[in-house]
Amino acid sequence: MAGVRLLLPRRGAPADLGGRVVVITGANSGIGKETALALAGMGATVVMASRDPGRGSAAVAEVAAATGSTDLHDLRLDLASLDSIEAFADTVLERFDHLDVLVNNAGLVLGRRRETADGFEETIGVNHLGPFHLTRRLLDRLVASAPARIVNVTSVAHKGATAGMLLADLQSELSYAQMDAYAKSKLANVLFTVELARRLDGTGVTTNCVHPGIIRSRFARDGDARGWLRLVYPLGAPFMVSSKRGAQTSVFLASAPEIQDVSGAYFVRRHQRLTSPTGRDATAATWLWDESERLLAAAGRAYLPGRGRSTPLEPEVRAGTPPPGLLGPGGA
Ligand SMILES: NC(=O)c1ccc[n+]([C@@H]2O[C@H](COP(=O)([O-])OP(=O)(O)OC[C@H]3O[C@@H](n4cnc5c(N)ncnc54)[C@H](OP(=O)(O)O)[C@@H]3O)[C@@H](O)[C@H]2O)c1
């Protein structure tokens, strides 16, 4: 990989991220907020993306007070809306001429089937299709800023899904169960990491994914979960790992120099681990990428490299296959 910008005096010491621009989704709560705290503490410029203005500004104030950072950016991002994703990406691209780290952290589990503003089942929409679209919107800037990193927060729950489940019913239209929908979305995070790493090979941008542990946060406690999950998380909270510890592997993947050349891997407690067999299925990873592109194109969106703003598509483009881009067929 060309160049090494995250130089450390000694192994294991906190990285100096001064001058680095980091985007974190779901930064107002739990693991995302702790990731923001840690990376701001290392001197990074941190874009804290959150969907709710009140919760977002409260978290930014908290991180500013804890770290003394004056380089925090409180931006709105609703991953259940492609318009919101594009507006957010445009703001980031306008405000920063380089981007060093993207942490796709935001995620949820939903007791009942809902749809996003663009008609996607919301679990796969927020946990996979939204981050997929956001990453592609920011990808040219990440590549131009290389060495750069993309961190995807998945879950051990990905092991509850198979490629067959994705292929048969990606959007849980035939049947809906909250843990099946969640497991499919987290498997999608793993497969996205695998395929993105393949496409980014040689660009100087790495991507890895992380299972943070079973973490005490707002996850499954915000009223959206149902049944046993709604009980287990509040009742089990005293025995769960803190969000601060849960953020440690995300922080490690975003900053540690010793893994600067590692890409396409799955980490748990800072160690590389094997995903489920499906999580290592290159064919499934390529299928999911193509299917995600197809779904976004059907929603009138596509990745048009070099455009800055890509949407809405021209009618003739919307009707046909999305044009190959930097990372499309024949790309890097
Ligand atoms: N907690 C665990 O045991 C556990 C285990 C494995 C993996 N994970 C993963 O860890 C990640 C972080 O979860 P957490 O435990 O820190 O839970 P959390 O405290 O509930 O944080 C989730 C974050 O995602 C945001 N979010 C939800 N829907 C969104 C949307 N439509 N647009 C933008 N942001 C949205 C939330 O915003 P709001 O505050 O506005 O809702 C919140 O900031 C998730 O990807 C989750 O799947 C968690």
Q: What is the mean pLDDT of residues 295-323?
A: 56
Helix (H, G, I), strand (E, B) or coil at 261: coil
- The structure tokens listed for 8 are 């450390």
Look at residue 305 in the predicted model and tell me its pLDDT.
57
Of the chain, the percentage scoring pLDDT greater than 90 comes to 81
* pLDDT tens-digit series, residues 117-144: 999 999 999 999 999 999 999 999 999 9
Helix (H, G, I), strand (E, B) or coil at 121: strand
Tell me which amino acid residue 65 is.
A
Residue 162: pLDDT band (50, 70, 90) is very high
Look at residue 11 in the predicted model and tell me its pLDDT.
54
Q: What is the mean pLDDT of residues 196-222?
A: 96
Asked if residues 7 and 257 have their Cβ atoms less than 8 Å apart, the reply is: yes
**In angstroms, what CA-CA distances link 305 with 198, 302, 317, 323, 325?**
18, 9, 14, 9, 6
Q: Is the pLDDT of residue 12 over 80?
A: no
In the chain, DSSP finds a helix count (H) and a strand count (E) of 12, 10
- Nearest CA residue ID for atom 42, ligand 1: 26
Residue 308 neighbours by CB distance under 10 Å: 13
Which atom number of ligand 1 is nearest to the Cα of residue 186? 47
What ranges do the domains of the chain cover?
A: 21-288
* Planar angle of CA 202, 100, 307, nearest 5 degrees: 75
Which atom number of ligand 1 is nearest to the Cα of residue 32? 16
Which atom number of ligand 1 is nearest to the Cα of residue 108? 27
Number of Cα atoms under 13 Å in the Cβ half of residue 229: 21
More confident residue, 149 or 220: 149
Q: Is the pLDDT of residue 292 over 60?
A: yes
Residue 290 neighbours by CB distance under 10 Å: 14
Residue 146 to residue 76: CA distance in whole angstroms: 26
Q: How far is the CA of 167 from the centre of ligand 1 (A)?
A: 25
pTM to 2 decimal places: 0.91
Mutate to test the pocket of ligand 1, among 218, 233, 242, 249 (most ligand atoms within 8 A of CB): 218
Average pLDDT, whole number, for the chain? 89
Which residues does residue 210 pair with via DSSP β-bridges, in sequence order?
153, 267
Q: Is the pLDDT of residue 13 over 80?
A: no
Q: How far is the CA of 291 from the centre of ligand 1 (A)?
A: 24
Three-state SS for 125-168 is HHHHHHHHHHHHHHHHHHHHCCCEEEEEECCHHHHHCCHHHHHH
Q: Is the pLDDT of residue 27 over 60?
A: yes
Q: Is the pLDDT of residue 291 over 80?
A: yes
> What is the total residue count of the chain?
332
Asked if residues 191 and 285 have their Cβ atoms less than 8 Å apart, the reply is: yes
Residues whose CB falls within 8 Å of the CB of residue 87, separated by 6 or more in sequence, listed in order? 76
Q: Is the pLDDT of residue 74 over 50?
A: yes
- The structure tokens listed for 139 are 């990808």
Look at residue 319 in the predicted model and tell me its pLDDT.
36
* Planar angle of CA 92, 108, 128, nearest 5 degrees: 60
Closest by CA to 178, choosing from 132, 219, 117, 210, is 219
Asked if residues 247 and 35 have their Cβ atoms less than 8 Å apart, the reply is: yes
Q: What is the mean pLDDT of residues 27-31?
A: 98
Look at residue 325 in the predicted model and tell me its pLDDT.
39
Which residue ranges have their beta carbon within 6 Å of ligand 1? 25-26, 28-32, 50-52, 55, 77-80, 105-108, 126, 153, 155, 211-212, 214-215, 217-219, 222, 243
**Phi then psi dihedrals of residue 45, to 5 deg:** -80, 120
Look at residue 268 in the predicted model and tell me its pLDDT.
98
Helix (H, G, I), strand (E, B) or coil at 48: strand
**What CATH superfamily is the domain 21-288?**
NAD(P)-binding Rossmann-like Domain (3.40.50.720)
Residue 206 to residue 262: CA distance in whole angstroms: 7
Q: What is the mean pLDDT of residues 35-43?
A: 98
Look at residue 223 in the predicted model and tell me its pLDDT.
77
- The structure tokens listed for 178 are 């909250």
Q: Is the pLDDT of residue 320 over 60?
A: no
Distance of CA 278 to the CA centre of its chain: 20
Look at residue 5 in the predicted model and tell me its pLDDT.
40
Look at residue 8 in the predicted model and tell me its pLDDT.
40
Look at residue 286 in the predicted model and tell me its pLDDT.
97
- Nearest CA residue ID for atom 36, ligand 1: 26
